[in-house]
Structure 1
Amino acid sequence: MKNTIIYILLFLTTIVSCKAQLISLDQLSQCESGNCPNYTFIKDTNNRLNKFVGIWKGTYLDGRTYEFHFAKKNDFILYGGKPRDMIIGRILIKANNGTELENTISSTNGQTHFNGFEFDKNLIKYQMYYSGNAECNDKGHVYISFPDPNNLNQMRLVFIQDMDIIASCPDGYKTVIPDAKILLLTKQ
């Protein structure tokens, strides 16, 4: 009888500790500067990432055309981190004359240099990180959201370039995604 009680307690402790190891993207969005519970997995338990999945296209004021392919990956391990559900981004960017400026459409999941992380506290903006041409500081945070939460066919994308100092880029180099500008995209 004594052994049975010990086994039951051990079993219940194992179940409770396993549940504590998983947190949702919603819970992660509420963490304050390292004040997050200890976790092993980050899951999209409310399927918030699904609305971003698909092919999105848009044109910037200078005539560049953008095609973003967003795919949801479950339990994806990036750079040796913990498994998490995230969006992986692929892009095709063309100049107004049709010249390809960036094309990662056929890149493998770990080589797109465009990966998701977390939602803001209000669960409206999803933060990603892009590092296409890191040598020229063409890297930074990308925020995707919907201007109208009732219209999931139009997305807003904003790229905020990292503030690193780079001395080896050609004069006049521009990031492939416009820095600190809104890019409106339409779902295809």
Structure 2
Amino acid sequence: MKNKIVYTLLILGIVSCRAQTISLDQLSQCENKPDCPDYVYLKDTNNRLNKFVGIWKGAYTDGRTYEFHFIKKENDGGWFNEKFWDRIIGRFIAKDNVGNIIYSSMNNNDLNSMSGYYFDKNLIKYQMYYSGNAECNDKGYVYLSFPDPSNLNQMKLVFMQDMDIIASCPNGYKTVIPDAKGIILIKQ
């Protein structure tokens, strides 16, 4: 009986050492991997993600319009590395200058949608990953921020394309979200 109790306490001790929760704020302050605490759950303890949730609309200068739907997922993940986190999941519709849908991820599952990761060191920009047309290198990081922190009804979105070399894309292909250009979105 004593052995079972000791064994149970040992297992609980090992699990509790590994099962650490840290905040998005803590992770944003890590300069490099050795400085970051190991974690199992990355939690939005200060509710920083809530301001991104909702439907946001905007337009680019060439007439393309965008409608983004952002939701907050809590305790999400655990598929491959057994880590969980609070994050934003985004889906969107893009239309050309005459209103034709050129891209929609509205029916995508969470794994194939725009997925959030973490904040920058200053807790101003939230980083997400997007992959629309990977064959044409239409994939990369999306950064969300608020140009005026006192106005949470206007958000800036910037897409930074991955630097892969693609040879099979049609001439004149444009990424769905303009590369390295800001789009101002208005909360609906």
Alignment TM-score, normalising by the size of structure 1:
0.89
1:78 touches 1:110 (CA, 8 Å); kept in 2? no
CA drift of 1:20 comes to 6.5
- Structure 1 stretches lacking a partner, 5+ long: none
Alignment partners' CA distance in 1, 2:89 and 2:134: 18
Alignment partners' CA distance in 2, 1:38 and 1:69: 31
Corresponding residue of 2:23: 24
SS in 2 for 1:26: helix
* Amino acid across the alignment from 2:44: D
SS in 1 for 2:67: strand
Alignment partners' CA distance in 1, 2:78 and 2:176: 23
Corresponding residue of 2:106: 105
Alignment partners' CA distance in 2, 1:109 and 1:69: 12
Corresponding residue of 1:155: 155
Alignment partners' CA distance in 1, 2:19 and 2:171: 51
Corresponding residue of 1:67: 67
2:142 touches 2:159 (CA, 8 Å); kept in 1? yes
Q: Which structure 2 residues correspond to residues 165-180 of structure 1 after superposition, within 5 A?
A: 165-180=165-180
CA drift of 1:50 comes to 0.2
- Structure 2 stretches lacking a partner, 5+ long: none
1:143 touches 1:159 (CA, 8 Å); kept in 2? yes
SS in 2 for 1:57: strand
Q: Residues 134-166 of structure 1, C-alpha deviation per residue, up to 9 Å, x if partnerless?
A: 110000111000000000000000001111100
- % of aligned pairs identical? 66
CA drift of 1:75 comes to 1.1
What count of residue pairs does the alignment treat as equivalent?
180
Q: CA 1:20 to 1:26, structure 2 compared with 1: closer, same or farther past 3 Å?
A: farther
* Amino acid across the alignment from 1:30: Q
Q: CA 1:107 to 1:20, structure 2 compared with 1: closer, same or farther past 3 Å?
A: closer
RMSD of Structure 2 on Structure 1 (CA): 2.2
Q: CA 1:78 to 1:61, structure 2 compared with 1: closer, same or farther past 3 Å?
A: farther
Corresponding residue of 2:90: 89
2:18 touches 2:39 (CA, 8 Å); kept in 1? no
Q: Residues 25-76 of structure 1, C-alpha deviation per residue, up to 9 Å, x if partnerless?
A: 0011011221211111100011000000000000110000000001000111
Corresponding residue of 2:49: 49
Alignment partners' CA distance in 2, 1:180 and 1:14: 48
Alignment TM-score, normalising by the size of structure 2:
0.89
1:68 touches 1:89 (CA, 8 Å); kept in 2? yes
Alignment partners' CA distance in 1, 2:29 and 2:23: 10
Alignment partners' CA distance in 2, 1:54 and 1:15: 40
* Amino acid across the alignment from 1:187: K
Alignment partners' CA distance in 1, 2:29 and 2:187: 29
